[in-house]
């Protein structure tokens, strides 16, 4: 299945290439994740990504404890703020709606030193129906106030997506960030997301290297003259999925971005599609939240 947000065959892609979201704003097709980056390392890694490699999209979270450094990089780099896409997430301990959820987002703004957040995600669906809907209602108020531009979800299963859409929210979700890679393709969740014009973002897009050495992956890498990581990332790109690989290594940042400069054939895509192991393929424990009630 080629996703509804997939690029055209032969389309030239760069780190500035974007997808139009359901709310009218645009999201860069490729980004860099800030998970497990801390202090000066985080700031320097992002400055390199923005100024030297050309990234325009950074994904962080309150849970990551690096919003200050991410915000510093956004403010201090040479790229105009209007050309950068900044995402953060609110975790379960600050969800549930009301003053607690509002304070979390306002703190994210203050800590990062930004006037607005491009995208705020509900980090996980745990907590029950009312908990989720109350969280969304408060976050929607922050969109209406201009503090946040777009809202999204993360680790949401198909039933969570339908629940939110059926509640007829004032603000529609623009994306669902999930673990996704050839070995955990998430076809059902991707279909449910795209049915409602929800872009799929992929965290752990390289499965932490767990599947490097797979025969099929290696075969395609050899055929294309690319690394296994680049092949995995390109598979996501061609499915219209926004990949968010994390790297503080300048060379690796550039190598990851090279996935935008080549194409996989239809046959190679089918071979990679065949690697899906279903729920046996996931590597991140938070993925289990997709199955919560």
| Displacement of CA 19 from its chain's centroid (Å) | 13
Tokens representing 220 are 């395609």
* DSSP symbols for 212-281: TT-HHHHHHHHHHT--HHHHHHHHHHHTT-EE--B---HHHHHHHHGGGG----HHHHHHHHTT--GGGG
The two tokens of residue 210 are 């767990």
Which pLDDT value is given to residue 46? 98
pLDDT the model gives residue 284 = 85
Give the pLDDT score at 287. Answer: 82
Q: What is the pLDDT of residue 36?
A: 84
Q: How many helices (H) and strands (E) does the chain have?
A: 10, 10
Q: Are 152 and 119 in contact (CB under 8 A)?
A: yes
How does pLDDT run along the chain (293 residues), one tens digit per residue?
578 999 999 999 999 999 999 999 999 999 999 988 888 999 999 999 999 999 999 999 999 999 999 999 999 999 999 999 999 999 999 999 999 999 999 999 999 999 999 999 999 999 999 999 999 999 999 999 999 999 999 999 999 999 999 999 999 999 999 999 999 999 999 999 999 999 999 999 999 999 999 999 999 999 999 999 999 999 999 999 999 999 999 999 999 999 999 999 999 999 999 999 999 999 988 888 898 98
Annotated binding site for substrate: 123
**Tokens of residue 256, six digits:** 């990851």
Q: Which residues contact 161 (CB under 8 A, 6 or more apart)?
A: 153, 173, 176, 189, 192, 193, 196, 198
Residue 64 annotated as catalytic? yes
CATH for the stretch 18-281: 3.20.20.100
pLDDT of amino acid 288: 85
The secondary element (H helix, E strand) that includes residue 141 is helix 129-144
Give the active site residue among 64, 86, 203, 211.
Answer: 64
Binding residues: 123
Separation CA 226–CA 261 (nearest Å): 11
């Amino acid at each position: 299945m080629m996703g509804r947000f997939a690029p055209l065959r032969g389309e030239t892609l760069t780190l500035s290439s974007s997808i139009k979201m359901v709310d009218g704003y645009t999201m860069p097709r490729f980004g860099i994740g800030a998970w497990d980056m801390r202090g000066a390392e985080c700031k320097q890694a992002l400055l390199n990504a923005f100024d030297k490699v050309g990234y325009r999209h950074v994904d962080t979270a309150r849970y990551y404890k690096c919003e200050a450094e991410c915000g510093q990089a956004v403010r201090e780099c040479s790229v105009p703020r209007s050309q950068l896409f900044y995402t953060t997430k609110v975790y379960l301990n600050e969800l549930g709606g009301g003053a607690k959820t509002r304070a979390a987002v306002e703190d994210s703004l203050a800590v990062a030193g930004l006037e607005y957040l491009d995208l705020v995600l509900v980090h996980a669906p745990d907590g029950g129906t009312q908990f989720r809907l109350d969280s969304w209602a408060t976050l929607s108020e922050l969109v209406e106030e201009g503090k946040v531009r777009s809202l999204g979800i993360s680790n949401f299963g198909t039933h969570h997506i339908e629940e939110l859409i059926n509640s007829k929210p004032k603000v529609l979700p623009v994306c669902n960030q999930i673990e996704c890679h050839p070995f955990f393709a998430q076809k059902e969740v991707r279909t449910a997301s795209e049915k409602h014009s929800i872009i799929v973002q992929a965290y752990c897009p390289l499965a932490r290297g767990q599947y490097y050495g797979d025969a099929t992956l290696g075969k395609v890498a050899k055929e294309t003259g690319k690394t296994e990581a680049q092949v995995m990332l390109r598979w996501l790109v061609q499915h219209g999925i926004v990949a968010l690989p994390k790297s503080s290594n300048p060379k690796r940042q550039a190598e990851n971005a090279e996935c935008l400069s080549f194409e996989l054939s239809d046959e190679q895509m089918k071979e990679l599609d065949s690697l899906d192991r279903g729920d046996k393929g996931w590597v991140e424990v938070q993925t289990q939240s997709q199955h919560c009630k």
